[in-house]
Structure 1
């Protein structure tokens, strides 16, 4: 049996470009998160930025996808990174010579998020075409490990860069990396001159497609409950971000570098958990119970997180990262196997919109709580809410969910 070579020209170029873009994004995002809180002193202001950045992901992919299917996707990918490069570079120059403007930054964040939603859709659409036939599993394994590995490496480095050079120079460097990524992507060789000549995608056809997916989800109580829980859990977790930054910035004895290590430990736990999934297979009959246990354990760990001594905080996040990656892999494999192939894109799109809406809403809620309560109590309240949501949305629909996680033999190939 011959093995397909994965690292050909196109795949190597797209991974190199992704690496440069991710390195810049991690460093820039870290610096900007602290800049916003330092300038405003408000968790609500930080949360509003997060909510604004999520808004384009609710509607732009749906609007742009039909156009992207009819034009060369490589153009969207390259030009998106070029535009992102100039905006980030310009932001860095502004901070180098002028004062911070919250309204201006809010507007620029919205524009960058619009570009990001298009770039993500372009990458998702073009990436399968750059993986050699027969090497799909390896190709996606590489892309899935890229962000967590680079986060572990770059987050502590970003903390050092922030203290040494400041936000402006980090953003200028990020703009340069984004431009290098675009130049690298331009060398990808992909014949996109022939696009399928299909009928114009009308509003009526779009509505019909959405209606079919909605009708399917109405009948699938377990799947809908799982998506609702993901909206809650992911939303609360997103809302924690500005609170944790505020806590590490204001609580005596804590620093930005300690926050960086805090995040790194969780990503290390996730990486170890993902690696073990290649070695250990959990029996189907135990998958639902294991996933529910992980959800409730994760929530309980959140509830006590900021009340612990710092070393135990690190252990807390490492355990959560380990358990979280295991449950996510089991969930994704089970759900994608369960959804009918003809509905998979639309159902996945619905899940993405629901989670994005949850992240936007809970970012604002948690940010508001941060204005009136101790940050530790805010995290505890968020963890408690997620814990209760697990009982209602997961355990309360366990019969329907067991059909997803623990399929009968005759249903496993459907």
Structure 2
């Protein structure tokens, strides 16, 4: 088997860990800041929607562009920009200045950067993975977020003790700046860039964009398995987006349910319980690194995982705290399984010269589902108990598992049940 830990793979992994540390803290800090200052589930969900809204539009434009020009330069440029934005947010909060519309605009900008970055990263990363190591590489990738999320309880304590999110945004700025420096050192020559062609000399025009975009859509329509996977993940992200919007408000709005837990408030308790999900993802990543699932059974394993996650997420907020933590832990392990099977299969299946357009289209459709779920959950969360709304969302998810993934399974098996 080819060597996985090449110089470039080490650099992208270290850079990803550093930037993900900042990303996890940033998301938590912004969400808690808005929830504290507005005391509104709807305004909190609106922030999440505005953050995700550019992820519908940005990938559409980014995909065709990134199939022609340097993905590496885009990655480190966006990390430098993120560092600059978080420096500004640090100074605004340091002088205790908060304006909802202004911060809404900043979050819109961050969402745009993240939308482009995700397409660039997902399209570039497979090129740094040696042949035969996709599953192992994505198991490492899947462990980065859990490691970074271990910062959340610390971030919660810092926020609670300082009474401000300013120190958290200072930390974000440093992490993104360091990540960008690491990423500039990647030496891989991007073969998809045709530097000497007439098209490249002319630059990126509206005509070339339309041509590339149409080719991307035609490719997805022709690949039935990719289309089924994209539609299902749009719906599951619709349900999951709504679920995650309601978790923090549920704990914050119902402290009496956790009054028997000493020493910590309900928000800190939420970060502790969610850390079990992080631990599950970490262990799940280790399992994938050491163990390869049987190739003919990958789709069946994925289907069982999708069903189990939907069931647990529907009812876990009714569990006692200990069982709730166990549920988060199991979902973490299964979530990594879902991620690893899907992304290692699709990214190794799609040709490099079409990967940017596929990832852009996938991100656009999935983000649209995520945003709709967040907006609907935020609206319904103002009227109905959070747990009732979550059960409704997970019921939709269960229907999608049967009517989309199971009934169209033959198309998906051709992609999932491959040795990568």
1:267 aligns with 2:278: yes
What TM-score does the superposition give when structure 1 sets the normalisation length?
0.84
Greater CA deviation, 322-331 or 115-124? 115-124
Q: Tell me whether 1:111 sits opposite 2:122 in the alignment.
A: no
Q: Does 1:196 align with 2:201?
A: no
Cα drift, residue 389 of structure 1: 1.7
Residues 74 and 399 of structure 1, relative CA distance in 2, 3 Å threshold: closer
Structure 1 partner of 2:98: 100
- How far residue 375 of structure 1 moved from its aligned partner, in angstroms, is 0.9
Q: 2:67·2:353 contact (CA, 8 Å) conserved in 1? A: no
Q: 1:143 to 1:364 in 2, by over 3 A?
A: same
Deviation per CA, 1:325-379: give whole Å up to 9, x if none: 2233233344456556765543333222111111111111111111110011111
Of 231, 234, 259, which aligns to 2:234? 231
SS in 1 for 2:382: helix
What corresponds to 2:409 in structure 1?
Answer: 398
Question: Secondary structure at the residue paired with 2:151?
Answer: helix
Distance 2:179 2:348 in 1: 34
Q: Deviations over 1:232-289 (max 9, x none)?
A: 1122212222211101112122622211122211122122223223444444443333
Task: Tell whether 2:330 aligns with 1:319.
Answer: yes
In the alignment, the residues of structure 2 paired with residue 158 and residue 41 of structure 1 have an alpha-carbon distance, to the nearest angstrom, of 20
> Which residue pairs with 1:46 in the alignment?
44
Q: In structure 2, do the counterparts of structure 1 residues 16 and 135 end up closer, same or farther at CA, with 3 Å as the change threshold?
A: farther
Question: Does 2:158 correspond to 1:147?
Answer: no
**Alpha-carbon distance change, 336 to 171 in structure 1, aligned in 2, over 3 angstroms:** closer
Q: Name which of 175, 193, 210 aligns with 1:207.
A: 210
RMSD in angstroms over aligned alpha carbons? 3.4
- Counterpart pick for 1:175 among 154, 173, 176: 173
Aligned residues of 1:6 and 1:139 also touching (Cα < 8 A): no
Q: Is the 8 A contact 1:73 1:122 kept in 2?
A: yes
Identify if the C-alpha distance between structure 1 residues 128 and 320 changes in structure 2 by more than 3 Å, giving closer, same or farther. Answer: closer
**Structure 2 alignment gaps of length 5 or more:** 259-264
1:37 maps to 35
TM-score, scaled relative to structure 2? 0.83
Instruction: Specify whether residues 374 and 19 from structure 1 end up closer, same or farther in structure 2 by C-alpha distance, changes over 3 A only.
Output: same
Q: CA–CA distance in 1 between the matches of 2:302 and 2:380?
A: 29
Query: 1:69, 1:212 → 2: CA distance?
Result: 11
Say whether 1:158 aligns with 2:155. Answer: yes
- Bigger drift between 274-283 and 155-164 goes to 274-283
Q: 1:351 to 1:169 in 2, by over 3 A?
A: same
Structure 1 counterpart SS, 2:412: helix
Asked if 1:246 corresponds to 2:245, the answer is no
Contact 2:279 2:332 in 1 (8 A): yes
Change in Cα spacing, 1:64 to 1:216, as seen in structure 2 (3 Å) is: closer
After TM superposition, the structure 1 stretch with the greater mean CA deviation from structure 2, 65-74 or 353-362, is: 65-74
Q: Deviations over 1:20-41 (max 9, x none)?
A: 3222222222122111111122
Aligned length: 404
Q: What is the CA distance between 1:155 and its match in structure 2? A: 1.8
Structure 1 residues 344 and 307 mapped into 2: Cα distance closer, same or farther (>3 Å)? same
Match of 2:262 in 1: none
- Measure, in 2, the Cα distance between the counterparts of 1:263 and 1:61: 29
Q: 1:79 to 1:222 in 2, by over 3 A?
A: closer
Q: Does structure 2 retain, via aligned residues, the 8 Å contact 1:299–1:383? A: yes
Gapped regions of structure 1 (runs ≥ 5): none
Asked whether the equivalents of residues 119 and 360 of structure 2 are also in contact (C-alpha less than 8 Å), the reply is no
| Of 282, 295, 298, the match for 1:287 | 298
Equivalent residue runs for 1:330-369 within 5 Å: 330-336=341-347, 343-369=354-380
